[in-house]
Amino acid sequence: MLRGVNKPSIAFVGAGALASALAVLLHTRGYTITEVVSRTGVSARRLARRVAAKSGKLGALPITADVLWLAVPDAEIATCAKELAELGARPRVALHSSGALPSSVLEALAACGDSVASAHPMMTFVAGEPPSLDGVWWALEGEGKAVRAARAIAKDLGSSIFEIKAEEKALYHAFGAMLSPMLVSELTAAGALGLAAGVPKAHLQSVMQPIVERTLANFFANGGAAAFSGPLRRGDVETIKRHISALKKTPAEREVYRALAKYAGNALPTQKKQAIMRLLNEK
């Protein structure tokens, strides 16, 4: 693949899991990653070696790329934008990948003539090899030139795109939180119950995996109502009563169970709903 042909050069500010994944994926798709910068420079050097880029501390290394991509924690984006604006670089495209914040958090760069946008992929990023972004959806918001640049990059990664209003970003990010970290939280709570019930720790994930995978397959094939099963759907009040009584041994997981069961009672097909909701609401 010819590197850089009709592709903008990209510099990353930040070298965490998301920046690392994007930089590596873009590098393999023929993009030139010119610089990787971070607060300390240590993580930047590690990532830069993987993508044949220069590395350095924020503010100490000139940024020469067509696209400046801020991939730092939400609380640091505005501060980084101000610091980068003070370096006096030429106008370009500036992106950030916060799911919760709008493009206006880059206002310091916009004031210098940069076209700014937020570009958030609906995917989880953790340490290790980057996930494929093929088929992943990106939410874009911001100024025309920057949105067009982000759209082209996302499509080049095999992704799909929709545009979102700035004022809906926080709600959109809460949606994403429920799809991954809170799903992990629910599974962790379920695992704790399994251990409390005597499931051998060595086999816990093997016990959980088939039913979780089948449930997800049912949900994505047919929707929530069709995938929903168990005592709530059947209206089995006595079984739910036994659950709640047994869960007194694990109070934290009991609250998770109650919250999820209450939501299910209102949002999903549930028999004997009134009796079940009274039971769930008992102190």
Looking at the structure of the chain, the number of domains it has is: 2
Distance between CA 259 and CA 186 in Å, rounded?
A: 11
CATH code of the domain covering residue 42: 3.40.50.720
pTM of the predicted model as reported, rounded to 2 decimal places:
0.93
Q: What is the pLDDT of residue 6?
A: 82
Q: What is the pLDDT of residue 89?
A: 66
Task: For residues 142 and 79, state if they share a domain.
Answer: yes
* Beta carbons of 111 and 85 less than 8 angstroms apart: yes
Asked whether residue 256 is domain-assigned, the answer is yes
Enclosing domain of residue 103:
10-168
Q: What is the pLDDT of residue 34?
A: 97
| Distance of alpha carbon 153 from the chain centroid | 18
Asked whether residue 117 is domain-assigned, the answer is yes
Task: For residues 19 and 121, state if they share a domain.
Answer: yes
| Residue type present at position 2 | L
Task: For residues 158 and 245, state if they share a domain.
Answer: no
The last residue of a domain, from among 109, 143, 168 = 168
Distance between CA 235 and CA 230 in Å, rounded?
A: 9
Asked whether residue 2 is domain-assigned, the answer is no
Q: What is the pLDDT of residue 148?
A: 98
Asked whether residue 4 is domain-assigned, the answer is no
- pLDDT tens across the length of the chain (283 residues): 345 568 999 999 999 999 999 999 999 999 999 999 998 888 899 999 999 999 999 888 899 999 999 999 999 999 999 999 998 767 799 999 999 999 999 999 999 999 999 999 999 999 888 899 999 999 999 999 999 999 999 999 999 999 999 999 999 999 999 999 999 999 999 999 999 999 999 999 999 999 999 999 999 999 999 999 999 999 999 999 999 999 999 999 999 999 999 999 999 999 999 999 999 998 7
Task: For residues 92 and 192, state if they share a domain.
Answer: no
Which of 123, 103, 56, 112 shows the shortest CA–CA distance to 82? 112
Q: What is the pLDDT of residue 4?
A: 53
Q: Is residue 269 exposed (0-12), middle (13-18) or buried (19+ Cβ within 10 Å)?
A: middle
Asked whether residue 194 is domain-assigned, the answer is yes
Task: For residues 39 and 164, state if they share a domain.
Answer: yes
Q: What is the pLDDT of residue 1?
A: 34
Task: For residues 186 and 48, state if they share a domain.
Answer: no
Asked whether residue 173 is domain-assigned, the answer is no
Which of 233, 237, 192, 235 shows the shortest CA–CA distance to 215? 233
The last residue of a domain, from among 168, 194, 211 = 168
Task: For residues 95 and 150, state if they share a domain.
Answer: yes
